Amino acid sequence: MARAIHRLGPVTLKDYPVDSTTVITKGDMLWLDTDDVKPAASFTWDTNIATTQAAFNNLFVGIAAEGRASGDAATTIAIDVNPESVWEFDQAADAVLTGGLIGPAKASGDALENQKVVECAAAAAIGRCHVGVTSSATRIQCTFGSARHTASANANAAFGS
């Protein structure tokens, strides 16, 4: 798996709390678990991919702008929450049109991928495809809508983030 890469656009970094045992890799999709952020793979599975993606959408914060090892002394991590940032991610083997809706892909077993996206329904979407791709493409450029950034198109965008 290739690492997610910031390709273009402005970056808005916000520091969020993180537990000392949480491992985060730069480019991970992160969600807010009560009072700290965690990578997508640690999100609790709920019935199927669409239901899990929709629940993840409600708590999606943004993309990790830095990595963090378990036991790291830092108590916060910088997260890009800007809806105009364009990130390049691995993607499931589907053709996605420019503007197509994307969400975290399903990992083996019942879990979400930290750095892989797939086309999905509106209720489950956390972003959009920035440049359309064919089914043979393994990488996709996309923008994301944080539920914690008021300029985001995410219906869950909240004040006071």
Sketch out the chain's domains with CATH numbers: 5-144 (2.40.300)
pLDDT digits (tens, 9 = 90+) for 70-129: 888 778 999 999 999 999 999 987 788 899 999 999 998 999 999 999 999 999 999 999
What are 24's strand-pairing partners?
68
Average pLDDT value for the chain: 89
* Element containing residue 59 per DSSP (H, E): helix 49-59
Q: Among 61, 53, 66, 67, which Cα is nearest to 81's?
A: 61
Given this model, what pLDDT does residue 161 score?
40
Given this model, what pLDDT does residue 156 score?
56
Prediction pTM value: 0.91
